[in-house]
Chain A
Amino acid sequence: MRTSNNKRWYLSLTALLGAVLCLNAQSFQESFYLRNYALAYRYNPAIVRDNGFISLGQVSASSQCNVGASSFLFPTDDGLVTGLHSSIPSEIFPGTLPENIRYRGSLNAGIFAYGFRKGNTFHTFELNARSIYGVSVPRQLFELVKLGTGSGTLGLGEFRVDADLFAELAYGYSRRLNDWLSLGARAKLLLPVCGALVDINRLSLTASEEELAIGYDGELYLTNRTFHLKTEDEASSDVPSKRSKLGILPSGAGLAVDLGLVATPAEGLTLSLSVLDLGGIYWYYGNRSATSGPIMFEGLENVGYENLNANYLKDWLVETAKGYLEIMKPVSRSDRWRWQSMPLEANLGVKYEMPFYRRLAVGATGRYLANAGLPYGEGRFGLEVNPLDWLDLTANVGYGSLGAVWGVAGAVKMGHFRLTAGLQSGFGGTIPRKIVPLAPHFKSFSFGLSYDL
């Protein structure tokens, strides 16, 4: 019983930490430096490649979080403890946490990409599966757990969990206008599959000896072609829970464009400017459900003396919790349409190939991500070397709104095949044998194989 309880607490804490800290990965900035990288048009659609390519199975992911594991774990003289250990004062935990703990992640699985050059133009076709997701947890939640409530009402800020899955069908066109300027654009048809958003924008807890009252005001969006989100009134009605058997068809449509410019004003000097994911998705089969509280908990109800034992109380609490979850069912449903903007990304880069050794280049890049709730900006200085025809390496350091960052990437060419991998992360170290960063971080990862035509 005791261990089972403990397990539950640790699992909950671990799940929360995992949700906040787990690795994910965004646009592959190092592709600005890697020479003749097949998918460089994703970074800037104006980049004109020397020759065509086919790519299968490119994967990239990114994550951003405004806290790291060191915000929750604390080394002490007696060993490593969590912020909920009694030796950690509340001024440290949760006192040093940001107002909202925010995490954003994205995943891009490239199913197929094809590009070919025709004169001064380059054309690309691409099919990707993409996912964007995020979590926002208020600091007050940890204050509640760490310190308790005292008496009165404790505002718990807002909770937000969102996740979208969609397919991306893209066509890219770039053109070298003259010796020093190229322009490019990609049009991306976005075909949404499923989207979900839980947004509890008001949550409060009033604790007193008479009752525990949870006040909440939340919205739930569940967007997909297949399922109806039933409201409380519809739960027992004939409203079908499935609206279509054709669940694989898109649940709406979207359009986004990437725009880019590449200039080479002097020999060896390259300037890059791009704006990515300008657009959004119209989710069509959207359910917007609203629900609001309060939920009152007034304790046990006439527990008999004979029932006064731990097992009965545990079972009763589980049943009570289930009952309250029932109460939180949506009470209304509306808005079939839902518009969602894509997280806009803007990139600026400059690099210069050393005249004494053209296989060595230095440069700088800047990036801004308009992520909802967690906008991110950074600048990096980079170095690239192409010592052998089949090997290209690059590394960079910089500083972003989530702290100091670094990145490395490499490409290996084997005949017509080109293997590329890159990693971006932050300083501050990680948990041993884990990939969880200790500090707030921007982290991304990219890996792919292409075939030069």
Chain B
Amino acid sequence: MKAHVPLLLLLSILLTASCANQAYDLDKLDKEVTLFENEISVPVGDVGPFTLELALKSEKIGALLGSVLETESDGTILSQRSAEFYRINAYEIAAKTEDLSQPFTFPVGDEDIFPASTLTGLLTGFGFGAVDQKVSVTINNPLAQAYTLGGSSFVFCIDMRSSDTTFRKAVDLKDITVRTSYSGTTKLLEADIPDNILITPYKMGVKDFSINLPADLMSQIRGASTTDFILTSNYTGHICAGNNLNFDLASLIGSISVNFKLPISSYCLKDVQVSLDLQNTLPMEVTLSDIQLLTGEEKPAADPNLEVSPGTLVIKGGSLEQPGVTPITLRIQARSGAIPDITGIQLGLKLGSASGYAATPLSIKQGISVKSASATLRGGITFSGKKNENEQ
């Protein structure tokens, strides 16, 4: 039986040698893994565009402009306005006239109006311009026979910076006969403002205006829908960036917030560099300032722990046919810890004129998109391996 001893000894050694090593107990495994510790660059591709149409749907900009802007079928932003700037009733004329048995001239004098819409006026105040501008002055005829006019009609534009008159048109009204029309009007002035003049008309109206009326005026009032003489101004134009645009939206409505959700906290990123070509079809230079990333689920707020550099980006302008391309490198770093879930971005927006695109009409299809974006990750992507409490 002694011969069994070496075999038993050998078996004991083998069992010991092959036993489990408790240091490798998988139940105690820390499942955190960090990938790409040095650096990895990956193409991200194209994102967007973020168009004016989307901006008009946003909370702040939409509240300001969304309900008042009209758009053409091609997306261009139309400004139009028809407004009465003088009205007098035939009975009132009769009351003010001593002898109605003879033809007579009723003096009106000078009447004028700022023809463009309040919105257009507001925008031009910030330096926006207008192209394809058409203006006209009309008058109706409530009488059963034609009448003639006296005086002149006019329209003119003034460069508010230099006080120079950049456009002026006047029409002598003595040759104009306002024919009988129960519903139509007669144009006293019609003008297409040249597209090199991007400012809206300052004033439009009549000067030394008078109406030559027939005898027995009251007998001429038959069947018209109104007994008033009405002077109307008409204006249409397309909004453009203009030559002197300097529109700091941030000073008007504060920073703009765009909310989206990128749940990247589980990857424990510390340093992300994003290189991208920003493609701009807006005919204006766009300056993005005070760029901050938002965090927080219910109330996204700027996260001071996240540093975005550079804080200001200037994007050159372009058009739908020839977008402006601005290469940009954006770096996002966590001052401490890792970058949490991103729930949006907040930035100030400033618009300025872009050389060569001042007269390009604004379209809601224009906007900014990201082309050929790439991301470079440094410090690795860490998967914590901890169970997500929200997931069952």
User: What residues of chain A have their CB less than 8 Å away from a CB belonging to chain B?
Assistant: 1-6, 9-10, 13, 69-70, 73, 75, 78-82, 84-86, 90, 145-151, 207-212, 297-306, 308-310, 354, 357, 359-360, 383, 385, 387, 393, 395, 397, 406, 408, 425, 427-434, 438
- Contact in complex: A81, B29 (CB < 8 Å): yes
Pick the contact of B391: A3, A10, A393 (CB < 8 A): A3
Within 8 A of A (CB), among B89-144: none
In the complex, per-residue mask of B16-34: 1 if CB is within 8 Å of any chain A CB, else 0: 0111111111101111111
Interface residues of B, Cβ cutoff 8 Å to A: 1, 3-4, 6-7, 10-11, 13-14, 17-26, 28-50, 54, 260-263, 265-266, 275, 372-374, 376-377, 380, 382-385, 387-388, 391
Q: How far is the CB of A30 from chain B (nearest CB, A)?
A: 13
Contacts of B383 in A (CB 8 A): 5-6, 9
Residues on B with C-beta less than 8 A from A10 are 31, 385
Minimum CB–CB distance for B223 against chain A, Å: 56
A421 to chain B, nearest CB (A): 14
Q: Is the CB of A150 within 8 A of B39?
A: yes
Contacting residues, chain A, for B43 (C-beta < 8 A): 208-212, 297-299
- B residues near A149, Cβ cutoff 8 Å: 36, 39-41
- B residues in contact with A145, CB < 8 Å: 35-36
A207 contacts across to B, CB distance below 8 A:
40-42
B392 to chain A, nearest CB (A): 10
Residue pair B21, A438 in contact (C-beta under 8 Å):
yes
Known contacts A85-B30, A207-B40; A395/B7 CB under 8 A: yes
Assess whether B18 is in contact with A304, with CB atoms less than 8 Å apart.
Answer: no
Q: Are B48 and A304 in contact (CB under 8 A)?
A: yes
Inter-subunit contact A357/B3 (CB<8 Å): yes
Q: Is the CB of A303 within 8 A of B47?
A: yes
Closest residue of B by beta carbon distance from A429: B21
The answer to whether A393 and B388 have CB atoms under 8 Å apart is no
Chain A to chain B contacts (Cβ below 8 Å), 28 pairs: A9-B383, A10-B31, A80-B24, A81-B29, A81-B32, A82-B31, A85-B30, A85-B32, A147-B36, A147-B37, A207-B40, A207-B42, A212-B43, A300-B44, A305-B50, A310-B261, A354-B3, A397-B10, A406-B17, A408-B11, A427-B18, A429-B18, A429-B24, A430-B19, A430-B20, A431-B25, A434-B20, A438-B24
Bound complex: CA A10 to CA B44 (Å): 25
Closest B residue by C-beta to A150: B39
Residue of A nearest to B392 (CB): A3
Report yes or no: B380 in contact with A86, Cβ–Cβ below 8 A: yes
Chain B contacts for A82, CB-based, 8 A: 29-31, 33
Contacts of A78 in B (CB 8 A): 30
CB pair B38–A5 under 8 Å, yes or no, is no
Task: With both chains docked as a complex, state the minimum distance between the C-beta of A332 and any C-beta of chain B, in angstroms.
Answer: 30
For residue B34, which residue of chain A has the nearest CB? A86
A423 (CB) vs chain B CBs: closest residue: B18
A147 to B46 CA separation, bound complex (whole angstroms): 27
The residue in chain B whose Cβ has the minimal distance to the Cβ of A209 is B374
- Residue with the highest number of chain A CB atoms closer than 10 Å, among B11, B26, B376: B26
Asked whether B29 lies within 8 Å of A433 as measured between CB atoms, the reply is: no
A6, B7: Cβ atoms closer than 8 Å: no
| Bound-complex Cα distance A80 to B32 (A) | 10
CB–CB B41/A208 < 8 A: yes
The answer, among B33, B37, B49, for a CB contact under 8 Å with A13, is B33
Contacts of A428 in B (CB 8 A): 17
Q: 7 closest A-B pairs (Cβ-Cβ)?
A: A299-B45, A300-B45, A148-B36, A148-B40, A209-B374, A299-B43, A84-B33
